[in-house]
Every structure is written in structure tokens, then in C-alpha cells.
Structure 1
């Protein structure tokens, strides 16, 4: 096994060779104590937080000019917990471009973003980076103050200006230079900009003055996102920024980011969002990075065409090789003339192999989810009669709700955060009881609810298999292996501690756990968080084929479009049916926000 020192030496050798070849500025970065110390200031500014830098080894060679606004890194390799995620690949990030980073769950997308955010890769010092990876800390600062406080350069200049202005000579030329810089930074409108960003993300004036410690983790994540947008850095790194947003805020963010004119790298599972925002797609597959031009739909089309051509070339080459080998085997020892032809074919074959043969297309392994069909229950299965609910009687969320949900219902609940979508699901399960009216459930109805906090309740020291055997005691191990395998947790992933699984893999464990109960009705609250696009499509297919009832809360327009037959709007203490599809509703939200 090659040691870290040897790896670093090899990378430095490669850097020297590259410098010799092109005379370009070259740098190599590796995760070491020096790199860790060097990135402390950056990581604080970027909100990266606890870096666990020793778990990663990241090397690369900067082959673009150190003063350029474009970045090209060659010989990029990334290792995490001893596993190779990227091996000897290239990354190109051009100023003014917005990149969507795609790849299957567990391939290392978030790890790559963290390495970029921590400057473990050789990114020129003149380019500031903001990596959004966690919510803002709970403190006594208001949400508006928390957004503005992140602009350290502006605050520093304002303090210097105060000191200089208090001097006898009035500050002179140095003060003028500071004012010029502040004007460039538009400091006079800083508060207005911060307030507008927060408003777009769902914070009214009252919420903007509320202390950050009085918000939930999801809302503090929104404040962290507002900070990132307010900073307007040269390189903005966003990991699933829509996870804690409602549809309204998703629409606003999409419009905001499509005008971001620096370098954006975003990990997102929402195809609709990637289509609206991205100018390029970076696909992580087979430990390599491949860049495509265009948004998500264009990437799918281009990749499909390239793979089709590659497979044609691969098949043609394989047929040629097979034919030549057969000829050599038959006539290599025949008459002089045939032997010469056989030798000629041997030379042709060797030349083809030296030139590099076309590889077979590596298909992403498509995961097939499956929910067990449950048959029918006579309606009404779930009935709301004159239901009124509020956490306190003087602050009602719903008033006089009347509706029914049956096993053929496919409903998407939409509406702003705080309107009560998750509350409605809890009323359906019986976790909450109405203040007035009645919720009737069929005696034999089995309901399973998925919500994003379930993964937080997993004992991550256990393996997926141990967790399932503990939950469903008395079940045979082989049966349980099959149950988790159906949701893409196979091989070593079944027996390793769940703390070593990606967020998406842990979400799949929860789906396996829910599906094993064979529910007749699924209540899904943001089921797509942390799932890759392929897994979401698989989930959509499984839900379409399943014969049970579904109530869905999601910020993923495409998933709603695939599985929902009805859109119900939760707003103003009522639940009303939207006449039209989810894309009509998206257009309505844009118009409402004046976008």
C-alpha cells in the first residue's frame, strides 16, 4: 500500500513536470497538518465547521494561471476513510458558470465540496470561497444581524473608518480610500440587501428581528443560506440548498441563483432546480469527473448520445477483435500466404490495443424500490369531520376541515412553511388530536410516516441489518438482508455501522424499515432529502406501481409531477384543492413573488 508521503511526493513530481511542460503556475495541496492550519480562517468564514480533515486526503495540480478567475486542476485525487472517491481526474471551474454536481449516493459529492471549501485543493488566494454545509449557530443575534455580521471585510472597513474619522486630520487620504472601497461594496444598502434575501427565504420583518436561538435547525439553515448569498463570494459551494425550503422559497432561490455571475457549484437532487440554475453539469462516476455543457435536461440528452456512440464503437471494435482472433487461430499456421495475412491481422490487433480500446459504457446501477401491494379497504379510510386544530386555542392553524383520504388517493400538500403541512400529517396519524371535530381511521388501516428527522433517531453505531433485526425481532436474518437489499443497501453496506453510510443510504434504511411494515397508506414528509436523482426516480416508479394511499409533502416539483393526482394548498387555516398541475402552481408562485 502506498503511503501518504509517497503519494504527496508523486503529486509534487507531477506538478514539477507540468510546470516544466507549460510554464504555468502550479500548486499542489494535500490534507496535512499544514493544510489544516492554513485553512482555519477560510473554514470559519465559510461555515464549514468541524472538518475531520484527517479522514480525507486530497491532492491536485493547479494548471491555470494563479491570477486567473478560471480554475483548472489536474491530477485530482480524493480519498475518504481510505476509500478512493476520485482518482487522477480533472476539474475545471470557469468564472460566470454555474455547475450542478451529480453522482450516486455515497460517491463523494459532499466530500469534494468540503475539500474545495477547506482549500485542500490549490485554489488561488485572491478567490474567496463560501461553503454552506451547516446551519448558523444559535445565539442572541437577530437573523438580520447574523446575515450582516458575516461580511467581515465590510465590518472591518467600517471600524477603521470610524477610527480615522475621529482623528484630528479627519482621516485624510486613507479614509477616502476606505470610503471608495465601501462604496464599491455598496455598504449603505447592506441592511436592505440582507433584509431582501431573508424575505425571499420566508422571513417577514418580525422574524428578521427574532433571535437565531429561537429558530429551529431548518430555519437556521435558511439564515446560513442567506449569509452565503449576501456574501456574494467568488466561489459559492451549496450542498442541497433546497432541503429546508418550501416550494415558494425554492422558486425564489432558483431565480436568485440563475443570476449568480461568479462560480457556483451546487449539489441538488431536484432536476427542476438544476434545469433552472445550471449552465454546466459535473458528473461523478467511476472515480472520475466529467463536465457537460448545459442544464440537467441537456446533460441527459448529451450523455445519452455519447453513450450510444460509445457503445456502437465498442461493439464494432469487439466484433473486429473477435473476427481477427478467429482468423489468426484458424490460419496462423496455414499456407505461407494465409500465415502472412494472419501476422498482418496480429499487428493490426496489437496496434488497436496500443491505441487504447473503447471501454464499455459504465451504467449507473439503477435501484428498484418496491412496496408490497396491500389490496383494498372500503372507504372512508381516513375521514376529517369539522376538524379544528391549534397548538393553543387562540392561535389556530386549521379551522373546520372536512375531507377524506382513501387508498386510491395521491395527494401533494403544498403551502408556505408554517402553514401546517407537517401538522396535518400528524393529525392523520393520531400523533396530534384536534381541538374540535373528529379524525376517523379505518380499524384495519396501517399508516407509515416518513419524515426527515427519522434518520436522526437511528442508532448509527448499529449496522442496517442489526437495526432491522432489533426493530422486527424474531425475523430470519436472510429475510431481513433481502428487505434492506430491496432498497439498495447490499454487501458490506448492510453490516458496517450506519455512521459510515452516506445520508442518502441512511434514508434508504428508513424506507426499508417503513416498507417492511406493509402499510396501506404512506405519509411522506420531504422524502427526497439526501437521495440522489436516480433513487428519487426509482421511488417515484415504486409509488406509481403501488396500490396504497399517498399523502406527500415535498419541495421537489418533479417528484410531485410524477406521483400526485391532486394538489392541496394548506394556507389561511384551510386546505383547498388546486385546480391544475404542480407546474401551474409553480408559475403561480413566480407571479405572486413578482419573479
Structure 2
């Protein structure tokens, strides 16, 4: 039987269509900023809209909150302008003359933003170019995004509260109220094609939030992101920040907004959850704009790529691999045209210089060529293709240490004797080892690294390290230890002494893509990706024999990740890697250890075979659910 909402949607199709729709009343389009609180008091992670008929108190609170958000935007150094170029009632978003500044530095200048309904965009660009800043500008509506388009920016974890994970995901009363009131308002308008599409979409979304299966849907999303039934019933305040970020991601997927903005959505996920999220986002049918460092993930999800280049936005159809191919072809053709133009210009200038003062006939020909040259210049000459700045990360070779360098013998570990993570672990890591550790979150991957470095001790068994072994450990929280008031140059000089000299240290950090003015900016003003580069510069300067890297690609751009892979492959030390980046694992590792079920075992295959195994496991689970 069709639902009431579907009946309403069908009824609206019978209304006559008008050439133009009525103007939307200003008081029916009020939008709450991204930090608005929900009715239940939990902290929002996106930009839902307030109801059109909110009480006076709510409107006053909204005005105060909007003012606070604007002041916060100024405090954080972001300013933005743009003009709406798409139809106000359209589901597409087109902004012309889009200019974005951060702390007085131009990130975008007179760019054109185009986001079409039903497309999934990957936003690319080097660290520090302004990708995250652009997402925040859209979420805060610093540019005139149509008010009927609700925006959800995932850039923070869910609030720690007494709500369970499942309750936090399903807490969408405010979104439902907003959509119901918008649907009621739209039903009073003449049925243009745009209004009809919006109304149908609203009814579909409302039905998904009202369905008897709403709890099943929320639980399914949480399960896909790694929450078992017991975890779904835990209070959000009992989770770490990484797990609360997963809850926020689950909530974003559950709400299913018109425009979903994701900033590094895989950062807190294990490989299994990454595979699930990739399959889930493939089916997203509204507007998705995401920043991701994972080429594998971009290939699986994106229908389009936007490249932030030279303060403009360049658009490409297809996924990441297609973008690389198309861009290479375009740049090759551009260089051919550039060379042809330069040859023509050189020939004409030579002719003008040679015959400009000759006979009348030759002088006329020279004048003609001079006019042709001036016309070419006025029409705009083809720019020379400037190659991307190549980052040359380098780890100093350290020579060999005789094995065994790092040895586990019958090791058992648990954070309490009655809860053992794994037991009878026997493994060895030498300087020619290139190991990836995989397994679900909570299985003990990061714990294994801590046992290796010695910050944790086993409950049983022995961990033996070579007396001269220097271990360099990278983890996600190292950037929090940087002094935010110091510049990268000042920080490195402070850490390693000023005897190296400023010029030498500039060269050291320059290898990690920290160049020019960036070397002297306060670390607090750097992007997360640039902060990570500072940490890698600090780590490399310690000349370790062995690197233990726990999610090293978080916040790094694709070019930096490739440079990191090259540096590891050219280096003579040992590597143990925990990462959700399938591509990086494939680039640098020749062994895969799987943690789970209370043991550590070697996976017999490469990382792509492991990914296919995860996909097959998810498909089998989905099939069993369908049979039920």
C-alpha cells in the first residue's frame, strides 16, 4: 500500500505547472548555522536548517548563534564572496565569482563552483591549498547556497553524552520538523519541475526517517562502521574521539542530506569499514563533496573530480584514475599549443625585426605580422604547463643491524588479565621487513606497535630489541605535541639545536614540502596536512633504523603520500605499517599480518586480495540480511 506521503506526492503532480514559481517568503527559509544544537541538546556535526515557523525565542537564539558563527569565521581568518548563478529553486548549486581568503591569503579568486544533484565529487589539491576551508565556507553558507538545500559537514565527532550510539544516530527530530514544514510550504506553490522534484525528494527522505525499519537502518549503518550490538547500546561518552567520529559519520549517512560534505571520512576507519563506506557512498544520490587522500577510495566512490589549482577550480568527469588520464592528455595538448604559439611568435618577431625597415612591400608584410602578433596577445596566449611541485621526502640510510632486530616470543597481551587481546604471538621484524598490520578496530593493531616500541609490556612472553635499535614511531596524535606558537623552522631548531644553522634547517624541512613563507608561519595557522609534514621532518631527522607508522596518511595529500612511499622504498630500514590506505600498503609492503580472534597470523596474499575478501564478506552478510 502506498504511504500517505507517496499519495501526497502523486497528488501534487496533477496541479498545473507555471512558467515561474512564486517567490519564497523570506521568513520561511531561515537556516541554522553548522553549530546549531538539536532539540535534545546534543551537539550537531553539520548544518541542518531550523524550522520556518520557529518560535520567537528560537529565532532570537538563531540570530545570536548566527552572529557568533560570523564572528568565529572572522576570528579564524576566513572570508568569502560569491554570486548564486543557478536557479534559486534548483537542486544544483552554481556559484560564480567565488573568492576565498584565509588569514589574508588568496585560496580561490573568481572561481566557478558547480555541484550538480546526483554527482559525487572528490576535491583534490596540495596540502594547504584550502580544501577544508572551502568545505567550511560552504557549510557556514559564506556563499549564497539556496536555503532549501540542507548541508551537513562532517568535521567533528559526536558530543560525548548519555545518549547511546544508536540513539545519537537516530536523533533527527529537528531535521524531520524542518523537512515537514518545507514540504508543507512547497505544496502551496505552483508545481514547476524544480518544485516537484524537491517535494518528491522530501517525501522520500521523510518516509525513510518515519519507517518502521528506521532503527534497523541506523543499526545497519553503525554495524557497517564497526559497531557490534553491545557497542551500539553504549553511551557516547564512553567512546574515544575516533569512535565518536564514526558515530557522527553514521548520523550523517542516516540523515541523508541534500549536500553532504566529508573531510577525510576514512581517517578513523579500519580497512573493513573503509570497504563498507565505499560501497555505501556509491549509492549516494544527492550531492556529495569530499576531501580524501585515498586514491583507492576516490576511484570507488567519485563520479567527478574537482582540482584546486592556481586559485581556480578545475572540473573532470570520472573517478581519480580517469582524472589522471584526462589531465595528462589536456596538459599534453596544452603544451603542444604553447610550443606552436611560441614558435609563431618567435618567427613573427624575427621577421618584424629583419624586414620592418626594408622595402615598402616587406615593411607592409612586417606590419601585418605585427598586427597578427598583437591580436594573438589580446586574445590570450596559452600558458605553459607548470608541473606540480615534487616533494622529495628522504630518510637517511642507517646501515644494517644483525638479526634478530625485534623479536616476539610467545607474547600475550591484554589491558587486564581477564581480557587478553592476543596470545602465543611469535613474530620477528628485521631491517629488510616491510610489514602491514591489518584487522578491525579494537583488535589490537596499534597496541602491537606499542609493544614493539616498549611503551607497553606483555602479560606473558618476551619482546626482545637489538641494543642499538633506534625506532621512529609516528601516530595520529603527534601533531598535538607541536608548539602551535612556533613556526616549523623555529620548532625544528628548538628540537635539534641551533648548531645546524638556519639555512641547513631550511633545507631539511624543505624536503618535506615546507617551503617559502610556510617555514615561518605559526604552526597553528598551518593545515593538518602541513602539520603532519612537520612531524615527518622531525621524525626523519632522528635517523631511525625502523619506522612504526600508525595511520601516517591522515591529512596528507596524494602527492605527499606518493613521495612518502618513494622515500620508504629507497630507504634501507625496516617498516611496520598500520594504515587504511590500500594503495600505500600495496606500494611499500610485502608482508601482511592480520590481527583478530586473539592471534596474529600472516595473510597469504597481497592487499588487493585482502580487500576482495572483505568485500565478499560484506556481500555475504548483506545477502543473509535480505533472506531474513
Q: Same fold (TM over 0.5)?
A: yes
| Aligned 1:1-400 pairs, distance under 5 A | 40-44=32-36, 47=45, 52-54=72-74, 55-154=77-176, 183=207, 185-400=209-424
Q: In 2, Cα distance between the equivalents of 1:157 and 1:108?
A: 32
Q: CA deviation at 1:221?
A: 0.3
Q: CA deviation at 1:143?
A: 0.6
1:388 match: secondary structure:
strand
Q: CA deviation at 1:389?
A: 0.9
Q: Say if 1:234 and 1:263, in contact at 8 Å, map to a contact too.
A: yes
Count how many residue pairs are aligned between Structure 1 and Structure 2. 545
Answer yes or no: is 1:521 the counterpart of 2:546.
yes
1:44 match: secondary structure:
coil
Q: CA deviation at 1:39?
A: 5.4
* Stretches of structure 2 lacking an aligned partner (at least 5 in a row): 1-18, 24-28, 38-43, 48-67, 181-201, 623-628
Q: In 2, Cα distance between the equivalents of 1:276 and 1:179?
A: 29
Pick closer, same or farther for the CA change 1:96–1:270 going to 2, 3 Å.
same
Q: Say if 2:263 and 2:292, in contact at 8 Å, map to a contact too.
A: yes
Q: In 2, Cα distance between the equivalents of 1:395 and 1:209?
A: 20
Q: Tell me the equivalent position of 1:461.
A: 485
Q: CA deviation at 1:327?
A: 1.1
Q: In 1, Cα distance between the equivalents of 2:210 and 2:162?
A: 26
Q: Say if 1:39 and 1:118, in contact at 8 Å, map to a contact too.
A: no
Pick closer, same or farther for the CA change 1:343–1:139 going to 2, 3 Å.
same
Q: CA deviation at 1:403?
A: 1.1
Q: In 2, Cα distance between the equivalents of 1:48 and 1:577?
A: 41
Q: In 2, Cα distance between the equivalents of 1:474 and 1:339?
A: 66
Q: Tell me the equivalent position of 2:529.
A: 504
Q: Say if 2:82 and 2:96, in contact at 8 Å, map to a contact too.
A: yes
Q: CA deviation at 1:336?
A: 1.5
Q: Tell me the equivalent position of 1:5.
A: none
* Stretches of structure 1 lacking an aligned partner (at least 5 in a row): 1-22, 28-36, 159-177
Q: CA deviation at 1:154?
A: 3.2
Aligned pair partner of 2:587 in 542, 550, 562: 562
- CA RMSD in angstroms, aligned pairs only: 2.3
2:340 match: secondary structure:
helix
Residues 434-467 of structure 1: CA distance to partner in whole angstroms, max 9, x if unpaired?
1111111111111000001000111111111221
Q: Tell me the equivalent position of 1:444.
A: 468
Q: In 2, Cα distance between the equivalents of 1:488 and 1:105?
A: 9
Answer yes or no: is 1:545 the counterpart of 2:570.
yes
Q: In 1, Cα distance between the equivalents of 2:223 and 2:254?
A: 12
Q: In 2, Cα distance between the equivalents of 1:105 and 1:41?
A: 27
Q: Say if 1:149 and 1:155, in contact at 8 Å, map to a contact too.
A: no
Q: In 2, Cα distance between the equivalents of 1:157 and 1:517?
A: 56
Q: CA deviation at 1:180?
A: 11
Q: Which moved more, 1:484-493 or 1:289-298?
A: 484-493
Pick closer, same or farther for the CA change 1:102–1:115 going to 2, 3 Å.
same
Q: Which moved more, 1:531-540 or 1:178-187?
A: 178-187
Q: CA deviation at 1:68?
A: 1.2
Q: In 1, Cα distance between the equivalents of 2:102 and 2:384?
A: 27
2:499 match: secondary structure:
coil
Pick closer, same or farther for the CA change 1:97–1:151 going to 2, 3 Å.
farther
Pick closer, same or farther for the CA change 1:409–1:43 going to 2, 3 Å.
same
Q: In 2, Cα distance between the equivalents of 1:39 and 1:346?
A: 58
Q: Say if 2:436 and 2:589, in contact at 8 Å, map to a contact too.
A: yes
Q: Say if 1:388 and 1:399, in contact at 8 Å, map to a contact too.
A: yes
Residues 306-347 of structure 1: CA distance to partner in whole angstroms, max 9, x if unpaired?
000000000110111011111111111112222111111101
Q: CA deviation at 1:484?
A: 1.1
Pick closer, same or farther for the CA change 1:128–1:180 going to 2, 3 Å.
closer
TM-score (norm 1): 0.88
Residues 326-383 of structure 1: CA distance to partner in whole angstroms, max 9, x if unpaired?
1111111112222111111101101111111111113221111111111111111111
